[in-house]
């Protein structure tokens, strides 16, 4: 048995930012959240992970546009994510880091499973910067749904000097869990920190990317998945 500690932001997985959205604008979009549930407010303009996403035309001129623009600079996909109560997600990590804006909820948390710490999500109008390469989950044990606007950060277009294109694909079993446990944390660091991979693309039951040819043997291929060279 272990103890999970509540910690303040600006430590570990969650960082505070200087960016804020108007609480009036958030209140103005809650009708959409309750009526539609989980939905995407953005659309692709090119590559999923690398090119900026734009607000869907139906949200232009609404409070959604104000909220979207409260986070400056190029952005990735923006989705409304609903977490019912009581519920939580399977432990996982993500290749791309995220910005989080809480829209509603009373007893909901983002949990850093590596450091065994919890971050309470509150309606304060603040954008939070999340290191999604940390193995984590989210939990809602309140009286109401938890809704967040989650925006992906674009991956950097890293320069690979001696690229080898590889594909890692599943064979059988719970592929998503094994992928997120073993490979997603490594992919996040390889794309954002060590910058040894680029041109990441999701494919059926797996992923493809370029990597420095001499580093292929460093890839932590998950159980029930196989790696192949794509010519």
Q: Where are the domains of the chain?
A: 5-152, 163-229
What phi, psi does 152 have (nearest 5°)? -75, 145
Rounded distance, CA 94 to CA 132, Å?
Answer: 5
Distance CA 80, CA 96 (A): 17
What are the phi and psi torsion angles at 161 (to 5°)?
-75, -40
Question: Of 14, 16, 131, 26, which Cα lies nearest the Cα of 70?
Answer: 26
The tokens for 166 are: 């590889």
pLDDT of residue 173: 67
Residue 229: phi, psi to the nearest 5? -90, 130
Give dist(CA 231, CA 227) in Å, integer: 13
Give the model's pLDDT for residue 5: 53
Residue 35's pLDDT is what? 83
Assign domain 163-229 to a CATH class.
Answer: alpha beta
Tell me which of 2.60.120.330, 3.40.1030.10, 2.30.130.10, 3.40.50.1240 is the CATH number of domain 5-152.
2.60.120.330
CB neighbour list of residue 74: distance below 8 Å, 6 or more residues apart: 52, 154
Give me Rg for the CA atoms of the chain: 18
For residue 23, what pLDDT is reported?
Answer: 98
Instruction: Write out the H or E segment, with its range, that includes residue 189.
Output: helix 184-192
Look at residue 161 in the predicted model and tell me its pLDDT: 95
The closest alpha carbon to 196, from 185, 211, 181, belongs to: 211
C-beta of residue 210 within 8 angstroms of C-beta of residue 162: no
Residue by residue, pLDDT tens for the chain (231 residues) are 334 454 444 457 999 999 999 999 999 999 988 887 789 999 999 999 999 999 999 999 999 999 999 999 999 999 999 999 999 999 999 999 999 999 999 999 999 999 999 999 999 999 999 999 999 999 999 999 999 999 999 999 999 999 999 999 987 767 888 899 899 999 999 999 999 999 999 988 889 999 999 999 999 998 889 999 887
pLDDT at 11: 53
**Spacing of C-alpha 201 from chain mean position:** 15
């Amino acid at each position: 048995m272990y103890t999970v500690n509540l910690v303040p932001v600006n430590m570990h997985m969650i960082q505070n930012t200087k960016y804020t959205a108007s609480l009036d604008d958030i209140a103005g979009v809650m009708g959409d959240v309750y009526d539609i549930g989980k939905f995407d407010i953005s659309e692709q303009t090119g590559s999923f992970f690398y090119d900026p996403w734009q607000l869907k035309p139906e949200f232009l001129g609404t409070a959604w546009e104000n909220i979207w623009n409260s986070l400056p600079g190029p952005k990735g996909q923006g989705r409304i994510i609903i977490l019912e109560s009581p519920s939580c997600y399977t432990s996982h990590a993500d290749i791309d880091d995220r910005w989080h804006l809480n829209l509603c909820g009373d007893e909901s948390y983002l949990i850093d499973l590596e450091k065994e710490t919890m971050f309470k999500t509150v309606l304060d109008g603040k954008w939070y910067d999340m290191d999604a390469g940390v193995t984590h989950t989210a939990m809602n044990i309140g009286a109401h749904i938890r809704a967040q606007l989650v925006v992906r950060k674009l991956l950097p277009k890293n320069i690979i000097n001696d690229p080898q294109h590889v594909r890692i694909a599943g064979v059988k079993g719970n592929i998503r869990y094994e992928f997120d446990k073993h490979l997603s944390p490594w992919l996040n660091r390889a794309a954002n920190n060590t910058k040894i991979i680029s041109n990441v693309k999701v494919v059926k039951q797996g992923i493809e990317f370029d990597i420095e040819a001499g580093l292929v043997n460093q890839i932590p291929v998950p159980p029930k998945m196989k790696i192949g060279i794509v010519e």
